[in-house]
Chain A
């Protein structure tokens, strides 16, 4: 599989004025984004698409094809560093057996990092920055059903929790469900991105060909030989005031169930990185990560690559983590295929970007929606362990879906009901 064109593609990176809000600059059409605290990359258009297959070797094959294309490009840049020169946005399906992964080099990429801004054009005349667009009027989102009835999902959770309690070797399975929506007008990814970024500025807001979301979890960041991963698992709600907030955090720190879930997730990342890196280090104790609607247990894991593996290759090695699949991974994947009765598509798969040097950043596509024309598909999942009660897991996914629904239609993020008794986890 070769991705090399017969003519050499010219890639130009020019220094740029600070564009302000990167997301406000996105033109209509297919857009890409990876933005946190205002820094990151946005892109649009499609200069090249690397075909991505299925199966166990899909990541190495995609990396090889992409590196072939990068090697053939004629790159001219005024500034350098991670994210300059040609950049590919990747969004891979959760299940290696399913199609739908995307690896695209946008025609234009605008970046900002550490006070420096740049614009990269792939082929054709050098692009200029489009004017910022005003936020459009919110669109009303209407319910259109789900891939599987919620009753079936509830029963699947009960069955899995029972299996974990009584038989080996399953310890945890992440079960997801979806919700389909429609709108009278075509759904625009750009205002959704901007609302997500405003509400969750501490998360990575991402877009990749119709997939849009915000994730607090960093699967991998690679800069040269340095790699790091931020593992989130175990959650508590935010309190109404400081005292309640601290009480919820203290309860989280004491919770046996959350700590077990967290340690399984950290363990799976450490195990994979140990195979690829020297000097793998994980923080001894998880720290608290506070987001507007939830607080998580978080552990940073770092290492030094033994070989010059691209960020996409490292993401492929780490995926799927216990946080989105379960433990042990193979058994959990089997249960997900049997019980979810739907294709997750790119939900809970790696999403991010990689440049020609192999530097890049990948997250896991959680808290996201797949948008296509007037239709959308929203996803949420919950980590099921032996102690899980199905109705609480159902409620957790309802609240997560509600948060994404409100980002789609610009309504306040508060859930309709006060009935929720369980905080959302990171999935």
Chain B
């Protein structure tokens, strides 16, 4: 008998709302994020509207990982990259990554969630296996993507130097 779909999905949603392994455990308010990064109210508004920051929909929308990401972006600005060019790059990156993220979630549903549903012995078993899979896969996927973009950047920089 297939596991209860609603039940599993509730568990997944709950797992996604909790900090995941590898995600900064500390949850922050909007004000705390601004305070710790020195981000002005204007830039914070812009970063949210542009989709550069993806807040959770609650009173503690950010984490200490967001602090690190904002500080990294500010380091790029301080290094001399104009804000307008950084925003344009981020917009293109966001557009490309959105499509890839959708496909990755689709893969998770098709090749991980569906088989668990078809083989689980009980609702509890199904929910637990899905949450375990999610908690293993999210940081793994993030690590793969981060590693790849890092390698791509280095390769592009090398190619540029060789060209000159």
Chain A interface (Cβ < 8 Å from any Cβ of B) = 145-146, 149-151, 154-155, 158-159, 389-391, 394-395, 397-398, 416-420
Closest to A177 in B: B84
Q: How far is the CB of A394 from chain B (nearest CB, A)?
A: 5
- A155 partner, pick from B40, B49, B77, B87, beta carbons under 8 A: B40
Count A-B contacts at CB 8 Å.
51
Residues on A with C-beta less than 8 A from B83 are: 149-151, 154, 394
Q: With both chains docked as a complex, state the minimum distance between the C-beta of A389 and any C-beta of chain B, in angstroms.
A: 7
Taking CB atoms, residues of chain B closer than 8 Å to A394 are 83-84, 87
State the CA gap A150–B78 with chains docked (Å): 11
15 contacts between A and B (CB under 8 A): A149-B77, A149-B83, A150-B84, A154-B43, A154-B46, A158-B45, A391-B50, A394-B87, A395-B87, A398-B82, A398-B88, A416-B88, A417-B88, A418-B92, A419-B87
Which 9 pairs show the lowest CB-CB distances between chains A and B? A419-B91, A150-B83, A398-B84, A417-B88, A158-B42, A419-B88, A391-B46, A155-B42, A394-B84
**Dominant SS at the B interface?**
helix
CA distance A420 to B91 in the complex (A): 9
A202 to chain B, nearest CB (A): 27
Taken together as a complex, chains A and B put the C-alpha atoms of A389 and B87 apart, in Å, by 14
Q: A-facing mask of B43-62, CB < 8 A → 1, else 0?
A: 10110011000000000000
Q: Report Cα–Cα, A398/B83, bound state, in Å.
A: 10
Residue numbers in B under 8 Å from A419 (CB-CB)? 87-88, 91-92, 95
Q: Complex Cα distance A302/B83, Å?
A: 42
A390 near B46: Cβ-Cβ < 8 Å: yes
| B84 / chain A contacts, CB cutoff of 8 Å | 150, 394-395, 397-398
CB-CB under 8 A from A416, the residues of chain B are: 88
Shortest Cβ distance from A418 into B: residue: B92
User: Shortest Cβ distance from B76 into chain A, in angstroms?
Assistant: 12
Binding site for A on B (CB under 8 A): 40, 42-43, 45-46, 49-50, 77, 80, 82-85, 87-89, 91-92, 95
A230 nearest CB across to chain B (Å): 30
CB neighbours of A158 from chain B (8 A)? 42, 45
By secondary structure, the A interface counts as helix
Query: What residues on B are CB-neighbors of A155 within 8 Å?
Result: 40, 42-43
A402 to chain B, nearest CB (A): 10
Residues on A with C-beta less than 8 A from B46 are: 154, 390-391
Name the residue on B nearest A419 (C-beta): B91
Say how far A161's CB is from chain B's closest CB, in angstroms. Answer: 10
**Is A420 a contact partner of B42 (Cβ separation < 8 A)?**
no
- Docked complex Cα distance between A33 and B41 (Å): 46
Least CB separation from B46: chain A residue: A391
Give the chain B neighbours of A418 by CB distance below 8 A.
92
- Measured CB to CB, the nearest residue on chain A to B91 is A419
Most A CB within 10 A of own CB, among B42, B50, B91? B42
The smallest beta-carbon distance between B48 and chain A, in angstroms, is 10
How far is the CB of A144 from the nearest CB of chain B, in Å?
11
User: Is there contact, CB below 8 Å, between A151 and B88?
Assistant: no
Asked if A151 contacts B43 (CB within 8 A), the reply is yes
Apart from A154-B83, A419-B95, 11 more pairs, CB < 8 Å: A145-B80, A146-B82, A158-B45, A394-B83, A394-B87, A395-B84, A395-B88, A398-B84, A417-B89, A419-B88, A420-B88
Inter-chain contact A417/B92, CB cutoff 8 Å: yes
Q: Taking CB as reference atom, which chain B residue is nearest A417?
A: B88
Q: Are A417 and B82 in contact (CB under 8 A)?
A: no
- Contacting pair B85 A398 (CB below 8 A): yes
Cβ B82 vs Cβ A391 within 8 A? no
* Complex interface: chain B residues within 8 A of A391 (CB): 46, 49-50, 87
A152 CB to closest chain B CB (Å) equals 9
Contacts of B91 in A (CB 8 A): 417, 419
CA distance A389 to B88 in the complex (A): 15
Chain A residues near B92: list those with CB within 8 A.
417-419
User: What is the CA–CA distance of A146 and B87 in the complex, to the nearest angstrom?
Assistant: 17
> Given the complex, which residues of A lie within 8 Å of B77, measured CB to CB?
149, 151
Residue of B nearest to A415 (CB): B88
User: Distance in Å from the Cβ of A236 to the closest Cβ of chain B?
Assistant: 20
Contact A389 B42 (CB under 8 A): no
Q: Which residues of A contact B85 (CB under 8 A)?
A: 398
CA distance A390 to B42 in the complex (A): 8
Residues in B whose Cβ lies below 8 Å from that of A395: 84, 87-88
User: Given the complex of chains A and B, what is the CA–CA distance between A390 and B91 in angstroms?
Assistant: 15
Determine the distance from Cα of A158 to Cα of B49 in the docked complex, in whole angstroms.
14
Given the complex of chains A and B, what is the CA–CA distance between A159 and B45 in angstroms?
A: 13
State the CA gap A352–B153 with chains docked (Å): 48
Complex formed: what's the CA distance from A287 to B84 in Å?
Answer: 32
List residues of chain A with CB within 8 A of the CB of B49: 389, 391
